[in-house]
Amino acid sequence: MNGKVAVVGVGYSPLARDSQRSVGSLALEACREAIRDAGLDKTDIDGVGGIFAADLPTVWPAYVIDGLGLPNVLWSTCAFPPSINAVVEGINAVFSGACKYALCFHAKYRWDSTSASAASDPMRRAPWRIPLDGSLSLPMVTPHGGSHPYAAAMHQHMDAFGSRREHFGMIAINNRTQAQRNPRAVLQEPLTMQDYLDSKEIASPFCVYDMDVPIDGAMAVVVTLADRAVDCARPPVYVEAAANGASSPNDMMLFSDQFHVPYEKIMTALWQRTGLSIADIDVANIYDGFSILTMGWIEAIFSGRGEGAACIEDAWDEVQQQLRFLGRIPMSPHGGNLSEGRLQGFGHLNEAVLQLRGQAGPTQVHGARRALVTNGMNPVCGAMILRSENA
């Protein structure tokens, strides 16, 4: 992209464990706020991209288009998660000329299938349910009982590379420390290493703090070409490069020989397409749907395979209870999915935009000019490098 496309609007609904709101209302609010943030109106938006929720009811683009009364939409799509995929689609759409202003959104909800407490709430009954079977092979797995691929991958990482629970704890604690500066974050109570190590294991070896926190919430952005972006209400944040997808092998089981592949491929592409290196990055919003996924990205970005634990130890600031890679790069100032809440990576992108505008408020990283955003896991992941207008 090399700065030819820019993010010009960001929008949030309230984020909450129990919003007392419908998921549709959250999506509409986030989208309305993103359009207003850009200084645009309903007639300007001619593209809308959402995320297909795979295992849960989806808020389709058509719902947002009709709910906001958008009269001029000529491009829409529903991409597979994580969130960044909808935005990459929107970037491609404005770059190709399919539309001028693409609104990209995602909405998450604690549907009745997501937990026992949600199941007891009559207002959380899903209208329908779609089984997720990306590998088309689940009938060969499910008869043997529920597996947890993230727990298995974490255990395998510890066994192969000597990583310990403390290293994953530093990821979780970093994000909680950051979240305490983010008024939107759902989890703000301080988290100590002792809390982490003492907590009940959900699926050995990981505990509740290794998992993102399910919430009700929605987020959105508006993207457009750089020459239109300068006329919008906010400082443009330019897309230097974006990549998504995942190469084979990827049968969704997170085997050790597959685990690092997509992260490494995507990061190599981003550096090659921009001529940049990690030395040019001021803030890194690294995906944390599970802490083991963060470990995989950290190894692809900073250290190489199997060196993540040592890298995290080097970056750990015991006094501040947070990570600073290369002695300066903070990770996820918004608190990530682990603490801000589970928007499948959308918060990582919105936070990067606010950081690069200098509008991140209490979480602002002084002088941030370039941000790296990563989302997802094998076989569905993506990443982006963004820069401020001052870079």
Partner 1 sequence: MSLNKKPILRMSYDTEAYWMGCQRQELLINRCMDCHAWHHFPRWLCPVCWSEKIKPVAVSGLGKVVMFSLTGRRPVAWIELVEQVGLRIYCALVEVEPSNVRIGMEVRLGWEDYGESFLPVFRPLNNTGASLGVDK
Q: What residue ranges bind partner 1 (CB under 8 A)?
A: 20-25, 28-29, 32, 42, 66-69, 122-123, 125-127
Task: Give the shortest CB-61-to-partner 1 separation in angstroms.
Answer: 15
| R_g of the chain, CA atoms, integer Å | 20
Task: Give the shortest CB-334-to-partner 1 separation in angstroms.
Answer: 25
The CB-side HSE value for 228 (13 A sphere, CA atoms) comes to: 21
Whichever of 129 and 164 has its CB closer to partner 1, that residue is 129
Whichever of 23 and 252 has its CB closer to partner 1, that residue is 23
Q: How far is CA 305 from CA 8, 35, 70, 254, in A?
A: 36, 41, 47, 14
What one-character DSSP code corresponds to residue 303?
A: I
Peptide bond before 143: cis, by omega within 30 degrees of 0? Answer: no
Whichever of 48 and 315 has its CB closer to partner 1, that residue is 48
Whichever of 23 and 222 has its CB closer to partner 1, that residue is 23
Task: Give the shortest CB-76-to-partner 1 separation in angstroms.
Answer: 16
Whichever of 18 and 159 has its CB closer to partner 1, that residue is 18
Torsion, Cα 241 210 359 364, to 10 degrees, reads -100
Task: Give the shortest CB-224-to-partner 1 separation in angstroms.
Answer: 20
Whichever of 42 and 181 has its CB closer to partner 1, that residue is 42
Q: How far apart are the C-alpha atoms of 5 and 323, rounded to whole Å? A: 31
Pairing of strands 101-108, 217-225: antiparallel
Task: Give the shortest CB-16-to-partner 1 separation in angstroms.
Answer: 13
Buried b (16+ CB within 10 A) or exposed e, 346-363: bbbbbbbbbbbbbebeeb
The CB-side HSE value for 136 (13 A sphere, CA atoms) comes to: 0
Task: Give the shortest CB-103-to-partner 1 separation in angstroms.
Answer: 13
Task: Give the shortest CB-28-to-partner 1 separation in angstroms.
Answer: 5
Whichever of 20 and 194 has its CB closer to partner 1, that residue is 20
Helix (H, G, I), strand (E, B) or coil at 308: helix
